[in-house]
């Protein structure tokens, strides 16, 4: 007698879940609708005729509704590609860019842990080979979604003349000052060196900046209490 095996429910592809194609179509449709209204106003001004305000207000209501729906969709898409820090204050503002670049932001660590737990929970009941294949398939879908997103953003940059400057070696946004970028890079290198090698300074010469969050302070100085460093070394 054959045992009925229940297939695990497959999660929708990431590209479909993010609805990138829908967002692109809605954006183009909204742009065309706004262009039509502007063309109508231009025609009214050229012909010196009275606008049909009832029709214009009706079109405006539809555009306003479409814009609201589009903003909600963009919020869902941005969650997968953009990190918006929730706790920003005077203490962590200066180190925040480095924390984002090195993925040491507490919110990112918490979100990643929750997502990993959810992912493993879905496949724990499967045999190990099937777990591996399931994870490979999900990784493939995520990579495909990222490629689609990159294509959509590249098309948008090209359409609106927002293409990045290819001559910039660091490929940083044009809005970032070079001095600021160099400072962030220097802070990032110092942070990486501190995490990997330790500061190797005598305890009386060490300065723990208050800008660092507690979890980073623990990571940098967890072994310093029980270790004396010879100043001459």
Percentage with pLDDT > 70 across the chain: 61
Q: How confident is the model at residue 228 (pLDDT cuts 50, 70, 90)?
A: very low
Span 116-135, average pLDDT: 83
- DSSP at 162: -
Query: What's residue 205's pLDDT?
Result: 55
Span 21-33, average pLDDT: 85
Residue 123 in this model has a pLDDT that exceeds 60: yes
20 within 8 A of 74, measured Cβ to Cβ: no
Q: How many whole angstroms separate alpha carbon 163 and alpha carbon 161?
A: 6
Q: What is the pTM of this model?
A: 0.35
Cα 203 to Cα 5, 49, 208, 223, distances in angstroms: 62, 81, 10, 12
Span 147-175, average pLDDT: 64
Taking only the tens place, the pLDDT of each residue in 50-90 is 888 888 888 888 888 888 888 888 877 776 666 666 777 77
Span 130-135, average pLDDT: 86
Q: How confident is the model at residue 188 (pLDDT cuts 50, 70, 90)?
A: confident
Where would I find the beta strands (DSSP E) of 109-185? none
Instruction: Look at the block and give the residue holding tokens 């207000």.
Output: 57
Query: What's residue 220's pLDDT?
Result: 56
Mean residue pLDDT across the chain: 71
Domain ranges of the chain: 20-102, 113-160
> Which of residues 147 and 229 earns the better pLDDT score?
147
Query: What's residue 5's pLDDT?
Result: 47
Residue 13 in this model has a pLDDT that exceeds 80: no
Q: How many whole angstroms separate alpha carbon 189 and alpha carbon 195?
A: 10
Per this entry, what is the length of the chain? Answer: 233
Residue 206 in this model has a pLDDT that exceeds 60: no
Q: How confident is the model at residue 232 (pLDDT cuts 50, 70, 90)?
A: very low
Q: How many whole angstroms separate alpha carbon 171 and alpha carbon 90?
A: 28
């Amino acid at each position: 007698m054959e045992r009925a095996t229940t297939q695990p429910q497959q999660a929708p592809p990431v590209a479909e879940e993010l609805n990138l194609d829908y967002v692109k179509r809605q954006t183009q449709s909204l742009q065309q609708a706004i262009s039509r209204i502007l063309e109508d106003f231009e025609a009214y001004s050229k012909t010196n005729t009275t606008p049909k305000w009832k029709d214009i207000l009706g079109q405006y209501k539809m555009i306003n509704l479409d814009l609201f729906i589009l903003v909600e969709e963009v919020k869902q898409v941005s969650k997968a590609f953009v990190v918006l820090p929730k706790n920003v204050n005077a203490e962590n503002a200066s180190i925040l860019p480095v924390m984002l670049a090195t993925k040491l932001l507490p919110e990112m660590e918490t979100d990643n842990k929750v997502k990993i737990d959810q992912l493993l929970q879905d496949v724990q009941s499967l045999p190990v080979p099937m777990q591996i294949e399931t994870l490979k398939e999900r990784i493939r879908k995520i990579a495909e979604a990222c490629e689609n997103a990159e294509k959509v953003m590249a098309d948008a940059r090209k359409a609106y003349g927002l293409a990045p400057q290819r001559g910039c070696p660091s490929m940083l946004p044009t809005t970032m000052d070079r001095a600021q970028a160099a400072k962030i890079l220097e802070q990032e290198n110092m942070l990486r060196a501190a995490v990997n090698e330790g500061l190797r300074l005598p305890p009386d010469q060490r300065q723990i900046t208050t800008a660092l969050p507690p979890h980073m302070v623990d990571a940098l100085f967890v072994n310093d209490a029980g270790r004396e460093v010879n100043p001459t070394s």
